[in-house]
Structure 1
Amino acid sequence: MEPLVDIVIDDSRWEDADLPALSARAAEATLTALGLPCEGFNLVVMGCDDARIAELNGQFRQKGQPTNVLSWPSEERASDVVGEMPEPPEPGEPDDPEHLGDIAIAYETCLREAAEQAKPFSDHVTHLLVHGILHLLGYDHIEDADADLMERTETRILAGLGVPDPY
Structure 2
Amino acid sequence: MHFTEYDTRLAAYAVIVDDADRVLLTWFNSKGGADPAWLLPGGGVEYDESLEEAVRREVLEETGYAVAVGAPLTTHSFTGSESRHTGRPFKSVRVFFAATIVGGALGTTEVGGSTDFAEWIPVADVASQAARADIVDIGLAAATDKAHG
Give TM-score, length-normalised by structure 2.
0.26
Between 1 and 2, higher relative CO (CA 8 Å, sep ≥ 6) is seen in: 2
Give TM-score, length-normalised by structure 1.
0.24
- Structure ranking higher in strand proportion: 2
